[in-house]
């Protein structure tokens, strides 16, 4: 079982922070074993003896809607996952395979477990911006975080328009994830991407690189067809 976290009122496993439990997982023997005491010994309670990482509680005085938002930003969700999933460096496969797939399907390659897309990138950032040096793009590809910078919905790719279109409030981004329309404050966020000597694409999801500001347009690609989502 993975490392445990608790806020004293709920419990989660490090590898499944989205699953909230009202009591420590496992049966009585497992809980007692974790707490370092024989079964039947009441000890100091699970919170006192369990080696779970204790996290600060979500403030109970906030209105319910705000508490929900705080929970989404809670350390349990932001803690890097060290087991190869979201929050760690992910091997996305061979660069040649990824490029071939993009070309044959005419859409980005999506990695659900890592919550990112890989898109082709041949844009020319203006000014002193150097995406290669920053690790934002390399060898003609870029990695985009699936989360909408507006309020966090997952942004799917629209095959018709060849843009990313958020179903929640209609924000739209071009193929490079650059802001085009809607209420989003900036372009889609990115992850650092590198290619190893053997040609494997590595995407580091432990750190989010904020998307470019509104007005950035390095690829100048208008929508290629009708939108999937009505403009917000
Ligand atoms: S969450 Fe995407 S536009 Fe609002």
- Is a pLDDT exceeding 70 seen at residue 66? no
- Ligand 1 surroundings by CB, under 6 angstroms: 148, 150-153, 166, 168-171, 182-184, 232
- Is a pLDDT exceeding 50 seen at residue 47? no
Domain annotation for the chain: domains and CATH numbers: 4-78 (no CATH), 89-209 (2.102.10.10)
pLDDT attached to residue 30: 53
Which residue has a Cα nearest atom 3 of ligand 1?
169
Q: Tell me the per-residue pLDDT of 48-60, one tens digit each, with 9 for 90 and over.
A: 333 344 444 545 5
- Are the beta carbons of 37 and 44 closer than 8 angstroms? no
Of ligand 1's listed atoms, the one at least distance from the Cα of 151 is 1
Of ligand 1's listed atoms, the one at least distance from the Cα of 169 is 3
Mean pLDDT of the residues in the chain:
79
- Four-point Cα dihedral 222, 224, 229, 232, nearest 10: 20
Q: Tell me how far the alpha carbon of residue 182 lies from the centroid of ligand 1, in angstroms.
A: 8
Of ligand 1's listed atoms, the one at least distance from the Cα of 182 is 3
Q: Tell me how far the alpha carbon of residue 148 lies from the centroid of ligand 1, in angstroms.
A: 6
**Stretch among 84-88, 89-93, 220-224 having the lowest mean pLDDT:** 84-88
Q: Tell me how far the alpha carbon of residue 228 lies from the centroid of ligand 1, in angstroms.
A: 14
Q: Which of 69, 146, 151, 167 to mutate to test the pocket of ligand 1 (most atoms within 8 A of CB)?
A: 151
Q: Which of 183, 185, 186, 227 to mutate to test the pocket of ligand 1 (most atoms within 8 A of CB)?
A: 183
% of the chain residues with pLDDT over 70: 63
- Is a pLDDT exceeding 50 seen at residue 77? no
Residue matched to tokens 């328009």: 161
Average pLDDT over residues 166-186: 97
Residue matched to tokens 């966090």: 152
pLDDT confidence tier of residue 40, bands split at 50, 70 and 90: very low
- Are the beta carbons of 218 and 168 closer than 8 angstroms? no
Which residue has a Cα nearest atom 4 of ligand 1?
169
Of residues 43 and 173, the one with the higher pLDDT is 173
Q: Which of 145, 149, 157, 166 to mutate to test the pocket of ligand 1 (most atoms within 8 A of CB)?
A: 166
Average pLDDT over residues 71-99: 72
Q: Tell me the per-residue pLDDT of 129-145, one tens digit each, with 9 for 90 and over.
A: 889 989 999 999 999 99
- Is a pLDDT exceeding 90 seen at residue 202? yes
Q: Which residues pair with 116 in a beta bridge?
A: 111, 145
3-state SS, the chain, equals: CCCEEECCCCEEECCEEEEEECCCCCCHHHHHHHCCCCCCCCCCCHHHHCCCEECCCCCCCCCHHHHHHHHHCCHHHHCCCCCCCCCCEEEEEEHHHHHHHHHHHCCCEEECCCCEEEEECCCCCCCCCCHHHHCCEECCEEEEECECCCCCCECCEECCCCEEECCCCCCEECCCCCEEECCCCECCCEEEEEECCCCEEEEEEEEEECCCECCCCCCCCCCCCCCCCCCC
pTM over 0.75: no
Of residues 36 and 131, the one with the higher pLDDT is 131
Q: Tell me how far the alpha carbon of residue 195 lies from the centroid of ligand 1, in angstroms.
A: 31
- Is a pLDDT exceeding 50 seen at residue 78? no
pLDDT attached to residue 46: 33
Q: Tell me how far the alpha carbon of residue 190 lies from the centroid of ligand 1, in angstroms.
A: 17
Average pLDDT over residues 40-51: 35
């Amino acid at each position: 079982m993975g490392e445990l976290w608790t806020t004293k009122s709920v419990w989660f496993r490090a590898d499944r922070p989205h699953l909230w439990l009202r009591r420590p997982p496992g049966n009585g023997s497992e809980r007692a074993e974790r707490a370092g005491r024989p079964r039947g010994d009441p000890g100091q309670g699970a919170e006192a003896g369990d080696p779970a990482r204790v996290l600060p509680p979500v403030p109970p005085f906030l209105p319910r809607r705000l508490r929900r938002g705080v929970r989404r930003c809670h350390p349990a969700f932001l803690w890097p996952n060290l087991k190869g999933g979201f929050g760690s460096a992910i091997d996305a496969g061979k660069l040649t395979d990824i490029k071939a797939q993009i070309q044959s399907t005419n859409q980005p390659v999506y990695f659900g477990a890592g919550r990112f897309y890989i898109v082709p990138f041949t844009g020319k950032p203006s000014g002193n911006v150097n995406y290669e040096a920053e690790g934002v793009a390399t060898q003609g590809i870029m990695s985009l975080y699936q989360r909408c910078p507006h309020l966090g919905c997952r942004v799917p790719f629209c095959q018709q328009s060849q843009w990313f279109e958020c179903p929640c409030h209609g924000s739209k981004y071009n193929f490079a994830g650059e802001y085009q329309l809607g209420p989003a404050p900036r372009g889609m966020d990115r992850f650092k991407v590198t290619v190893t000597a053997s040609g494997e694409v590595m995407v580091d999801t432990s750190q989010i690189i904020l998307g470019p500001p509104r007005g950035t347009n390095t690829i100048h690609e208008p929508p290629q067809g009708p939108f999937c989502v009505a403009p917000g």
